Structures are given as C-alpha cells and as structure tokens.
Structure 1
Amino acid sequence: MAQKLSGVEAYLNENKIDIKEVSGRFTLQNLVEALPTGDEEEIDFWLEPVQEDFSRLALIRKRFSQMQLIDLEGQEIIRVIHDKNQTQIIKKENLLNIKSQPFFKSISNLKRDKISINPIMAYNAKSRESGFSEPVIQFSTPLFSPGGKKIGFLVITARAGPMLKTFGETPHGKIMLIDSSGFFLHRSDLSRKIDWKTQKSEEKFQDQYSNEFLNNIRATPKGIIEDIGSEFLTFQQIAYDNGNFEKIWLGIYSTEKNEILKPVTDFRNQFIFIITLVLIFIFIAASIFGENLTRPLLKVAATAKAIARGDLRQKKLNYQSEDEIGILANTFDGMVEQLQNNIHSISDTSLTLNSSSTQISTAINEQSSIAAEQSASLTQITTTLEELSQSSSQIAENSNSVVETSSDALHLSQKGAESIETLKEKMDGILENNKINIKDILNLGKKSKEIGTVMGIINNIADQTKLIAFNAAIEASGAGDAGKRFGVVAVEIRRLADNVMESTNEIQNKIEEIQQAINRLVVIAEKGSKGIEEGATLATKTITELGTLVHGAKSTNDEAKQISISTQQQMTATSQVLSALKEIQTGIHQSSVSMKQTQTITNSLADTSKDLKRLMNEFKINESS
C-alpha cells in the first residue's frame, strides 16, 4: 500500500514541478508583461510563441490533456488540447469565459507561488458534467507581472490514468482509492472495469461500510482495522493540497480474513486430524492386542522421542507383520526415512542459498559501483549544463536589454519623425502666411501711391485757391471800403491754402517714408520666404531620412526580438535537457536505494540461511542417508 501511495505522491509532485517550470518560461513571462499594457501588437507578437511552447510541452508530457491561460475575468487567452499524440490550438473566436464556473471561483484567490489541485476523477454526476472524457487532475497557479500585479492563471489538466495504473490489481483482496466524500476514484475489483464517462452509478464507499467508519479513517492518517466483518482493512491518507482536510484521498486495501488465516487454519486442522487418528489408533490397538501389542508401540514412542530431541540416527523398526501395528511401524519407518531425506535436502538447499546470496551480494556491489560512477558522470554533466544554463540566462538578459534599447530607439526615431513632420507643416503655414503678408504689403504700397496722387491733386487745388485768393485781394483793395471785408476773407482763404499746402507736403513726405518702409518689408519678406522654402525642403529631406531610420530601427528591433526568442528557446531546451538529466540522476539514485534494499534483503537471506544451517546442525543424521 505504501509503495502504491508513494507513486501517487510522485505523480502529483511531478506535475507541480512542471507547472512551476512552465509558469516561469520566458515567452509566457513576456506575454504576461504585455497583457496589462493593452498593446495588441505586442500581445500578438508573444501569443504565438507561447502557443508553440504549450504545443511542444504537451507532446513531450504525454499525460497533459489541456493547457490554458486565463485572465482575471475568467476569459481564456490560450487553450491547447492534446489527444492521441496530436495537439490542437483553439482559435480565438472559440475561446470561452469560465468566470461563472465553480472551478474558476476556487482558484481566483490563489496567492503567488501557490498551486491549486482540482481532481475530476470520481465516479459521479459532477465529474461527468465537467466535459472531460477521462479522469483528470487540474493544476492551477497564478501569474504576476514584474510589478507584482496578478494578471491571470496558468491551468494544466493532466490525465489521472497513469497515476491510477500504479494501483493495478491484486490477486487477493481489492485496492480502493476514494475522495473525502467517499466517491470512488479507483477500484481494482472487476465490477469497476467500465467506461468512466458512461458510469451511471453514484455508489460510495460508505454504502458498503458506513459513514461512521468513513469519518474514523478520515480523522486518522493511517492504520489497520480488523473488526469489519470478514475483512482486514489497511488505509492511508494522501493530502494532495497542502494538508487541507477537505482535499484528501484515502488509499484502502481490503483482504478477506480467511485468506490471511487459511494457511494457519489448514495446518491446525491437519495436525489435529493426524493426532486424533494416531490417538484413536493407539487406543484401539491397546484395547485389542493388550500387552503384546504395547511393546512395539513403546518402541515407536521411544523412537519418536529420540527424533523429537533431534536424533534422526534411528534404525528401522522392521516389524514383520501385516496387521495394523505392522502398517504403523512400516509407515513410521517411511516417515523417519523421508524426514532424514528432507533434512538432507534442506541442508543442501541452505548451502546453495548461502552461496547464491553471496553471489547476488557481489553482483549488487558491482552494480552499486557502476551506479555510483554513472551518478558521478551525470553530476559532472549536470554541472556543465547548469553552467551552460546560467550562460544562456545571461545571454537572454543581454538580448532583453538589446530589445529594450532597440525599442527605445525605435520609439524615439518615430517621435522625431512625427516632430519633423509637424515642423514641416508649421513651416508650410508660415510660408503661406508670409506670401499673404507680402501681397498685403504690396497692396498697401499701391494704396499709399494712390494717396500721394490725391495729395497732389489737393495741393494743386490749394495752389489755385491761393492764386484765386490773391486775385480776390487785389480786386478787394481796388474796391475801396466796400471791398475791405472781401479782402479779409481773401487773405484768410490764402492763409488756409498755405496751411493746406504745408500739410499736403508733410503727408507727401510721410507717404514716401511709408513707401520706402514697404519696399524694405517686401525685400525682407522675400528673403524670409526663400529661407522658409529652404527650411521646408530640408524638413522634407529630413523626414525622408528619418523614415529610413525608423524602418531600420524597426527591422533592428524585430531582429533583436527574434534573437531574444531564439536565445530563450535555447535556454528552455537546455533546461529541459538539464531536467531530464536530473530525472535520470534521480532514477539512478532510486536504483541505488533499491540496490541497497536488495543488499539488505540478501544479507537477511544469508543470515536466514546461516540460521537454517545452524538449525540443521541440531539434527543428528546418518551421513550415508
């Protein structure tokens, strides 16, 4: 029982080691890091390598039935199914949301580095509704980003068949494996050899025994129970989820008492039967033949006493009679002779057994030496591979740095290209505005010239007005007193005309200054336009060169990522080889342990043969016999 249950524990531990190794893989860690960012391009970039990793691992680990990556909302991100040496990657549109399922609720509160074990193995309706066509065990662990934020869960579904095969069958009794509720996970008796998926029975362990009995064995790690009718029961617990009382299995070995006690009972019955026959025969013989018949019986008794002391060197009785006493004496002589022959055979067998045990011990010692040499060689190989793995890890870290640096360069070059593009657009706007300004300045020059023309007309009018006023003043002076008032008006008109001419001259000067300034502005604006056009041309050239740079940076970034992935895959392959070597080393160690156990058994066998020889020496027999 203990050996079979240790096989179950080894199976569980092997799957725990596998899910820890898978959760730490480089591709999966990069996908987990990309998921919170929402960057679809980055997520898609890492999604395919993770799917390929899952597919390869499913082909290597034949016991894996399904591998899933699930986010915190219960949505499947990846699901890979393995069946009949083929793997199938489920398409994105067929992935499910399992948030409402009890299984997802049971793993939603998992802490970092914890592993949840969910067996779907019982012969009941709940297991049949799970959708699996065979007994399986689901191993789940949470996934965290480098910043410590929980991102989702990795779930590996392993077939339970290889584990259940370790129980097998037994010629005597039956072996059972049940869960804490009493549902059968395995029974070796023929009635359970039916298809797991179509089994309709809800039979439980307590249906055959009792709830009280089930509670008693659930509360005790292991033990033997004798008072179960005609059976002996040996049981032992397996806590498959860190000692959780609700998550235990019970291995039970049931043996009929009659099977155990049968050899003892048969021997006792035969012994009683023979003694009874002998006593009855002696009593009858003594009663019939009396004292004459007592003498040979006493000789038989004396010989029997000598044999009881270990002295088999007894002569034959040679009782010449065909009556019952003669038959008894002859039978007794045959028994003594047969006993002597048996003692000789046992003695020879003990010598052969001692010699064989010595040879076996020598062979085991040689095998142990070879195993030790193999273990030492494997240790050296393992050490070398560990160094190679460390070097691969350093290369992977450096390649990650290269990926990050190239990503930064790509990002900066893209931002630079965007900035230059924006600058070109601004310069094109400035150039257009500058052309509009030049046009407005030229229009302003035309308007100022038109104003100058108007000022010339006004100046001519003022000059003519001044001439008319002068003539009017002459006429007024000739008119005497009647023309004085008119003369005053003529003088004022003449003064006003002078003022107008002075003002128009000043305006004319200002207009000329404005025109000179406009001419300078036009020259400056034209130079600025030329500079802006040259800047726009350079910006266009810069945009083209930056586009080439961005393309080169993107190519460099993609190649760096490919190098990083290749390095990580090499590191993963090295880790797998290292893991395989460690498994081989573990196997050699187990073989060494088995050899030591065999050596112990052989030594015990040798001691037994010596004891047997010493026991044979207590019998005194004739050498010739």
Structure 2
Amino acid sequence: MKKPGKQRKSEKEVLNKMMKNTLDVLTTAAGDFLFNYNLDEIIILIKSVLNNHDIVAVSVIEYNDLPVYAGWKTPQKKIEKALPEKIKQNKQLISISKVHYVNNDKLGVITIYYSEKSIEKSVNQLRKSYKAEMDRYKQSVNNQLKKLIIIQSCSVGLIIIFIILSLVLSIKKIVLKPLNEVERIHYKLSDFDFTISINNNKNDEIGKLLKSIKIVVYQIQNLIGDVKHTAHALNMTSEKTVRVSKQFAQNIHKTGIESKNVSTASNNMSMRIQKIFGKVKITNSNTKQISDTSEQIASNIQHLSEALDLMNLSMKSVSENADKGSNISKKAVEMAEQAKNSIKNLEEASNEIGDVIRVIMKISDKTNLLALNAAIEAAAAGEAGKGFAVVSSAIQKFADQSALAAENISSRITSLQENAMNTIIVIMEITDIIQVMNDSISNIKIGVYNQSAASDQISANALGVKEKSDQIAQKLAELSKAFDQTTHDIDYLSKESDQVSSSIQAVSRQTDDSSNEISQLNHITNQLDKLSNDLHQQVDVFKI
C-alpha cells in the first residue's frame, strides 16, 4: 500500500496540473469575452468554473488592472465586481494567474483560488486505512508466531521425554541388571539353595564377584555330591550289617541302641532334605513369576513399538498435508501475480484513454475558439450574419458539452486508476502474507521430519529392549527346568533316605534275634558309626 505522504504528494501534483489546465481553458474563453466585452458570458463562465468543488474563487481583471467580475463561494455562489480582501489574504488558499494576450497586447488577467481540503480528506482516509491494515497484519503475524511457538514447545517436550526414557532404560540395563542378579543370588544362598545357575559375561567388579560366587557354589555342589556318596556307602554298610546281624544273637541290646541312633540321624537327615525340597519349590515358583513378568514386559514393549508406528504414520500424513498447503500457497502467489499484471494492463489502457480525452479537450477548446470567431464574424456581418451566429452558437454549445463529457470521463478514469493502484497494493500485501504462510508450512515440515526421526530412534531402542527381554525369559525358562530337575533329584534322595531309615529299623528288629559273633558285629557297628559321624560332619556344613 502506498504511504499517506507519497499519496498526498501524488494527488497534489494531479490537482495542480488539473487547475492549470482549467486556468488555460478559462483564460482562453474569458479573453474572447473580454475582447468582445461580453460581460454576461463572463458571469456564466465564472459560475460554471465555480462548479468545481476544489475551486473557491475566480477573478477577471482588465489590462489596466480594473476588476471586471469576480465570483466566490460563501458557500453559495456569489458574483461581484471584485473579490473580498479576506479571500485574497487567506493563506489556506492557493492562487494561480494567467495573462491573456491579443496580438502581443495585454487584454486581461484571470486568477483562480483553490483549496487542498479534498487532498487532506483523501490522505486522512488513506492514513486510517493504512493504520487498520497494519493492525490486521500485526495481529495475523502475532497469531502465527504464537501457533509456531506452541508447536515447537510441544515438539521439544516430547523429544526431552523420549531422551529421559532412553537414559533410564540404558541405566537399568547397564547398572541395575547386574546388581539385581547379585541380589537374587544372595537371597537364594541365604535360603541354602545351591542349585542356582549363574550367567556372567562381564569383566568388571560385579563380574568378578559373580565368578567368585560361581566357584563357591560349584564347591558346595561337589560337597553335596560327597554327601550323596557317603549316604550310599552307609546304605551298603547297613545291608552288610543286616546280613551279619542274622548270625549274631549276642549284645542285642547294645546293637539295638546303636541302630536306633543311626535311625534317628537318618530321620533327621530326611527331615532336612524335605526342608530343602520346600525351599527349592518356593524358588521355582518365584522363577516362574519372574518369567511371566518378563513376558509381560516384552508384550508392553511390543505395544509401545506399535504405538510408535502409528505415530510415524500420523507424522507422515501431517507432512503430506503440509506439502499440499505449500503447493496451494505457491499457486495462490502465481494467481495474485497474474491478477496484478491484468490490473497493470488495465491501468495502461486507462492511461491511453486519458490521452484520447486530452485530445478531445484540445479539440473542444479549438471548437470553442472557432465558435467565438464565428460569433465575431456574425456580429460584424450584422443582419446578414444571423444564420452564421446561430451555427456558431450551436457549435459553442457542442464544444461545451464535449468539454464537460471529456472532463467527466477524465474524472472517472482517474478514479479507476486510483482503484487499480489500490488493488495492486492489496494484492501485493496478500502475496506477502501467503509467502509468510508458505514459510510457516516449511517450518512445520522441518519440525515433523525431526519428530519422525526421533520416533524411529525410540522404536529401534524399544526393539532392542524387547530382544533382551526375550533372552531373559528364555534363560528363566531354562532355570525353571533346572529347578524341576533338582526337585526331582531331591525327592529321589528323600525316598532313598526313607529306605535307609527303613533298613536301619529292620536292622534294629533283627538285632533282637542276633546272638553270635559279637566281635564281628562290633567291628561292623564301629564302621557304621564312623560313616554316620562323617555324614553328620558333612551335613553340618550346610547349617540347616
């Protein structure tokens, strides 16, 4: 939009030019009337000139500076011999004068007074329009900036949340997982559960600790194997005792007491084995619960990955819509440019029409002059020139009508040019706004691209975590199988212990019938007592 200062200067130049043209026409017509001293026509001419809303007053002076006639607006039209002094001294009015010569002799001076109030009114309206347009533009820019800030803030917040979640998962994987493994082993060892399996692939301090624990557990497992071997040897010795006890009948009471002691120790061992069996079952149940939890974690991670895929699809849709909006804004800019070119062509055509009108004005002036000359010739001819006078009067009226029509067309063309100029300015502002929208759409596309990249990275991390969770579930399943096998072995050991106890009780019953070979029975009983003591010493290591 053209600024008020420039618009005022442009309109002032147009007004001054139009006043000069009016003065030229007025001087030509008034000079002819002065030459013929036709005062009535001068009065009509002054009234006609005062019809122009920009002209305030007109004065006609003879060659000797004597006033002929003057007219002014009060605001009604008023005709007198001379202008009032207040109009001549009014500094708000602009006056221009022109001297009319005939054969290089001064015939008279014509002066017009006009005001720039219409220009001020137009400039004030333009200033108000300019201010309103600037306020609307500022409001539009502020709204777009607020929307862009909100979008960018949300994007940055989501990225920060995703980074924090990734860091938490990484810390849990690197630090907490080995510590949880140590804690699990500690709880199992505190329950005297030595059937645990330790998986260690690290070489740091925690890895060294797990290796040491694994060695200790392995030694304890060997110790338990020795206990099983001793129990088997005790069983074999008990069978020999049963066979030998058939041959002895002496020292029945003493042998019975010893066999009862062995039976009591065997029962105690069986009870302790049952306690171990219970602990192993509880541990196996906890392992299965951990396996179920791991499977649930894997399922949740799968849901997270699916949600991220849906979010990626939404982001792609937003990016496609942004591309469509960018293409539409580009087409709008092209169409605005085409409209601006069309209006420029219209302005050029109006300028050409203005040139034609100026030619018509000149023809009208010449026709008017021709009519004046014809009137002079008719007046000189007297009665013979009456018909010629009628023709000259008709020509003069035609010239006046042509001048008025040309002036009317000229004012309309001027208004059309002003409207065309304002339209071009508005189209240029619309083009600028569309360009700003296009830039905003480009920024949105960049933001969507960055968010999509971050979402892809998070999805990849989630898949990695899911793979590790599946591995944990697999290891827990293997551990559960190992617990089941251990439970089976302990159950078998309990049954064997019951059989040992039953055998010893049978020995106790059979010793009641033994009466011979006491020395051999004592020797076998001592061996049985020694093996029983060894068994007690090895079992006491477990502190159950």
TM bracket (short chain): 0.3 to 0.5
Higher helix share: 2
Which protein has the larger Cα radius of gyration, Structure 1 or Structure 2?
A: 2
- Comparing both chains, which one has the higher relative contact order based on Cα–Cα distances under 8 Å and sequence gaps of 6 or more? 2
- TM-score, normalised to structure 1, is 0.37
Higher strand share: 1
- TM-score, normalised to structure 2, is 0.41
